[in-house]
Amino acid sequence: MNRRSFLKAASVAGLAATPTSAVLGYSPQHDVQKVAPWSKNQVDQQSPEHILLNDYRPKSIYKIPVTEIARARYPIIDMHSHPYAKTPQQIAEWVHTMDEVGVEKTVILTSSVGTEFDATYRQYSKYPERFEMWCGFEYAGYDRPGFGAAAVRELERCHQAGARGVGELHDKGQGMASGKSKTRGLHPDDTRMDPLFEKCGELSMPVSIHVADPIWMYQKMDKTNDGLMNAYHWRLDNQPNIVGLSGMIDLLERAVQKHPQTTFVACHFANLDYDLARLGQLFDRNPNLYADISARYAETAPIPRFASQFYAQHSDRLLYGTDMGFDQPMYRITFRILESLDEHFYETEQFDYHWSLNGFGLPDLILQRVYHENAAKILAARG
């Protein structure tokens, strides 16, 4: 191992306590008055030999256009958000921010049922034209005979109480979950889910469902994982006996095909941001499947040409979403990625990846569909 490799390995491993004599090749008998040994607390953390990838915050030096987009080019329906605002003042501030950035309506995926859903619905009821509330599923008793009837009744009750859709449902390989209601081994294609998904179709309630997680979460947490700094916090590689990413996509498709009258929205590109071609194949086979683009801007911005082609090919099936809070900078970075042709810029406040981002420069027709038209079509279909 050469000196550079050693220093790099020591840095990543956090071996900052290595004495100067070992690092610089000095003899241990060297005059300690001239070369004091380094301690962990004395290391210059800005030295390249000791900067951890976790602390890497690069800034682009390229003299190229920087586009600041304060307001989206077209009105937006945000199909993926959550009840982040907890007080009347915060909700009012959110509405003000929506006005500033051009968001016409936000779908709040509460994932909740019962009194929790009712309370959240009341909390946002002052702005019925700006916020649309979706509920979850009740999974109590899923592992006992007869499951389904009570869950369907609660779904109908939530619908009568104001829920216009269902979401965000989750299954990261262990089983379906909705807010605090969780299961083990109950997956989207399970026959026990059929009455719920069928009822969603009858009530014209779209289903927002999050399956799996980004590919980096399943890979080894080592030097080859280029999404390591984000993946480590959401890792699934150490979870035994879960269905993997590819398997979860298969389970999702079986559920979608079993219920052709129900509209499904796969959250986050169905976590196929690394394999958009496969998502395109899902679209081709399943006319009742859409995908939102929420919280996967950083995952697709490194591949702007391929991603832009994907948007062009499937512009009628993609839905704008955020899933990242409700402050103005958050919205504006999504606009920059979708609308501009900016290159090689960083956004470490919103995203945890260390790589640079690029804009897609999507044309007007595609922006109109992704921002608004596709979502409006889904929402209008409910009558």
pLDDT in tens, the chain (383 residues): 332 332 233 333 332 333 333 333 333 333 334 434 434 444 455 678 888 888 888 899 999 999 999 999 999 999 999 999 999 999 999 999 999 999 999 999 999 999 999 999 999 999 999 999 999 999 999 999 989 999 999 999 999 999 999 999 999 999 999 888 889 999 999 999 999 999 999 999 999 999 999 999 999 999 999 999 899 999 999 998 999 999 999 999 999 999 999 999 999 999 999 999 999 999 999 999 999 999 999 999 999 999 999 999 999 999 999 999 999 999 999 999 999 999 999 998 899 888 999 999 999 999 999 999 999 999 998 76
Q: Which residues contact 212 (CB under 8 A, 6 or more apart)?
A: 171, 172, 173, 244, 245, 248, 249, 270, 271
What's the confidence (pLDDT) of residue 44?
A: 56
| 160 and 298 assigned to the same domain | yes
Q: pTM for this one? A: 0.87
What's the confidence (pLDDT) of residue 14?
A: 36
What's the confidence (pLDDT) of residue 49?
A: 82
| 246 and 349 assigned to the same domain | yes
Which pairs from 237-246 meet CB under 8 Å and 24+ separation?
A: 239/173, 239/174, 242/172, 242/173, 242/174, 243/171, 243/173, 243/187, 244/173, 244/212, 244/218, 245/212, 245/213, 245/215, 245/218, 245/271
User: What is the domain-level CATH number for residue 271?
Assistant: 3.20.20.140
What's the confidence (pLDDT) of residue 294?
A: 99
| 28 and 125 assigned to the same domain | no
- Region class of 25: left (phi > 0), else alpha (psi between -120 and 50), else beta: left
Does residue 64 belong to any structural domain of this protein? no
| 41 and 152 assigned to the same domain | no
What's the confidence (pLDDT) of residue 332?
A: 98
Domain count, the chain: 2
E-strand spans in 140-185? 165-171, 177-178, 181-182
What's the confidence (pLDDT) of residue 383?
A: 65
Would you state the structure tokens that stand for residue 277, as one six-digit string?
């071609």
Instruction: Give me the domain span that covers residue 13.
Output: 3-48
Alpha helices in the chain (DSSP H): 3-12, 20-24, 88-101, 114-124, 149-161, 194-202, 228-231, 245-258, 276-285, 297-300, 304-313, 328-339, 364-368, 374-380
Does residue 63 belong to any structural domain of this protein? no
| 33 and 112 assigned to the same domain | no
| 94 and 38 assigned to the same domain | no
| 83 and 31 assigned to the same domain | no
What's the confidence (pLDDT) of residue 12?
A: 34
What's the confidence (pLDDT) of residue 4?
A: 32
| 114 and 41 assigned to the same domain | no
Three-state DSSP class for residue 7: helix
